Amino acid sequence: MYEHLSFIGIRLRAQRQQRRLTLRDLARATGLSAGLLSKIENFRTIPSLPVLLSIARELRMDPADLFSGLPAEESRPWVLVRAGEGSPVERESSHGMTYRLLLESGTVASEFQLMCVSVAPGARRKAVSGSGMELIYMLAGELAYHVGSDIVPLHRGDTLFFDGALPHVPQNLSGSEAVMLVFYLLSEEKSVPKRRK
């Protein structure tokens, strides 16, 4: 169920936008926080089944539609992603940052995603947090990576590992594009919807 978390998040966001609801509108209707809903839509956390069902109900979606048409898992014991393959995905309001999902798999309580992220000079995005760990390997360029209250300079070949619960954002102050390989190990969000009175 959680092996294609990105597809579920994309579908939820599309349905919310189609119904012209903001994250705050949906938060009020479900009893969930807007922050949690944003993390689900941007696949930065694994929602529990009750949370997913609550969101689907408020969006007037058949829960089966969340999972229909997901790519079938192949039975081979290995996965190959050729150069140039992968799926472009949209996350948050990132200007100048391009995400390409290379690999995604998971179990009931955890999920991992591998993305190649390009950060243009002057790219901007608000700092975000998630429920899991992140590992970054710099493929090209330079970044000032903000993690919590620290700023970590990153250069080609550097590896950075941190708790995704800390607010974090990359900043490219150089004149050329930076490229990083990002490995997300997400854990299940324990939040449950509040009952409306």
Same domain? For 101 and 181 the reply is: yes
Q: What is the pLDDT of residues 134-167, one digit of tens each?
A: 889 999 999 999 999 999 999 998 889 888 888 9
Same domain? For 99 and 134 the reply is: yes
Please report, for the domain that includes residue 127, its CATH number: 2.60.120.10
DSSP designation for 92:
T
Alpha-helical regions (H) of 31-120: 34-41, 49-58, 63-67
Q: What is the pLDDT of residues 90-149, one digit of tens each?
A: 766 667 888 777 766 655 456 778 889 999 998 888 898 888 888 899 999 999 999 999
Same domain? For 96 and 170 the reply is: yes
- The domain of 130 spans 87-187
**How many domains in the chain?**
2
Q: What is the pLDDT of residues 25-74, one digit of tens each?
A: 999 999 999 988 988 888 777 788 888 888 998 999 887 777 776 655 55
- pTM value is 0.57
Same domain? For 104 and 21 the reply is: no
Does residue 156 belong to any structural domain of this protein?
A: yes
Say how many residues make up the chain.
197
Please report, for the domain that includes residue 46, its CATH number: 1.10.260.40
For 33, residues 6+ apart whose C-beta sits below 8 A from its C-beta are 27, 191
